[in-house]
Amino acid sequence: MKRNLLIFTAVAAFAAVACGPKVSDKTAFEGTFEANAPQEVNIKIKELGIDTTVTVTDGKFAVELPVCKTSTARFTGGDFKSEFISDGTPLIVTVKADGTLKIVSKTPAVSLQEKKNAFEATLGEARTKAQARLDSLGEAGDEAVRTKIYKDYDAATTDCNRRLFEENKDNCLGAMALNMLQYNLDLAQVDSMLNLLDPSLAETQTVSMLRKAVDAKKNTAEGKMFTDFDIDGVKLSDYVGKGKYVLVDFWASWCGPCKREIPNIKNVYTKYAGDDFDVLSVAVWDQPQASIDTAKAYGVNWNEIINAQTIPTSLYGIQGIPHIILFGPDGTILKRDLRGEGIEEEVAKYVTAKK
């Protein structure tokens, strides 16, 4: 009797697994607009070349999509837009009368979309908690406490992204996590983690951009010779590699942290500029006139290259600004990503302040 009971239990367990939710090779994608329904919706899956428009009838629509786990898809319906994963489970879009939009799966246990939802919810909770702490602190609050709030938030989001990466190395969520983690990792760590991703992700936009950035950083790492670029006839080599130490600031007028670094750069320029040292600002990702006006407003009185856009940032693997680099007299890259007091500390290693 006991043996029969064990056999029955094993069969029941197998049946539960066999009859559980499964992932299909197609995604049933349907939705409802509770109010202000558009006449049609559009779905794009760039990696697969999918760009399809679906008619909305009585506030409802339905379409079958191919599965794509290597990148997100984009849903657009009137003013409503959202990224989602065509994961092979039945997905339901609901656009409520208050304007909120949700995309959920009928089989959440096996859905990548639901993993994405859970991840975004966790990040949202961390952000809300940090903002509540900042609000309670007030504008005049202790700066050390404010710094700790930012550090706690950064630690929480980093931990969340690490877990997402470890659990999803074979799909777009892992690539998305690494894309966010990269700012808290060194070059070797990003390179190593890229190699852990499934080969199917190698040609996706996110991973290929990460790989290009890693390769660019390797080619312009500390100790390497500078890589030249030309912006409207003005070259980096017009200033770098000419016998002076040169501090180069890649910045933009809309970038708050960039503008906060200008006083630090100005201080270094005032104290050290001369026969052995100079400063160059390179405006990237910006409107030329805005760069010119902001530089003037902040008292930038050193050399500038305007309208560089993405040319130098692509060459140097720069994914966030400000990015400040110190070059040696022969053009060797001495130090990258200088900030705050670290700018003068690095310059002072090589150049004597004016008396």
What are the extents of the domains in the chain?
26-106, 115-219, 230-347
With beta carbons less than 8 A apart as the criterion, state whether 63 and 26 touch. Answer: no
Residue 80 C-alpha from the chain's centroid: 23
CATH number of 26-106: 2.60.40.3390
Q: Could you give the count of Cα atoms lying within 13 Å of 298 in the half-sphere of its Cβ?
A: 24
In sequence order, what E strands does the chain have? 26-33, 40-45, 50-55, 60-66, 68-77, 80-86, 91-95, 101-105, 230-231, 234-235, 245-251, 277-283, 303-305, 323-327, 333-335
Residue with tokens 């970038």, as numbered in its chain: 255
Q: What is the tens place of the pLDDT at every residue in 252-295? A: 999 999 999 999 999 999 999 999 999 999 999 999 999 999 99
Is it the case that residue 139 has pLDDT exceeding 70?
A: yes
DSSP string computed for 308-319: -TTHHHHHHT--
- Quote the CA–CA distance of 44 and 63 in Å, as a whole number: 12
With beta carbons less than 8 A apart as the criterion, state whether 26 and 67 touch. Answer: yes
Cβ-based neighbours of 58, under 8 Å, separated by 6 or more: 37
- Please report, in angstroms and rounded to a whole number, the separation of the first and last CA atoms in the chain: 98
Residue 143 vs residue 132, higher pLDDT:
132
- Quote the CA–CA distance of 312 and 322 in Å, as a whole number: 13
Mean pLDDT of the chain: 93
Q: What is the tens place of the pLDDT at every residue in 141-172? A: 888 898 899 999 999 999 999 999 999 999 99
Is it the case that residue 49 has pLDDT exceeding 80?
A: yes
- Quote the CA–CA distance of 269 and 279 in Å, as a whole number: 7
Q: What is the CATH architecture of 230-347?
A: 3-Layer(aba) Sandwich (3.40)
Is it the case that residue 83 has pLDDT exceeding 80?
A: yes
Q: In this predicted structure, what is the pLDDT of residue 311?
A: 97
Question: pLDDT-derived band of residue 5, with 50, 70 and 90 as boundaries?
Answer: very low
Q: What is the tens place of the pLDDT at every residue in 188-207? A: 999 999 999 999 999 999 99
Q: In this predicted structure, what is the pLDDT of residue 297?
A: 97
Structure pTM? 0.78
CA torsion 12-13-17-19 (nearest 10°) is 10
Is it the case that residue 73 has pLDDT exceeding 90?
A: yes
Is it the case that residue 11 has pLDDT exceeding 50?
A: no
Question: pLDDT-derived band of residue 10, with 50, 70 and 90 as boundaries?
Answer: very low
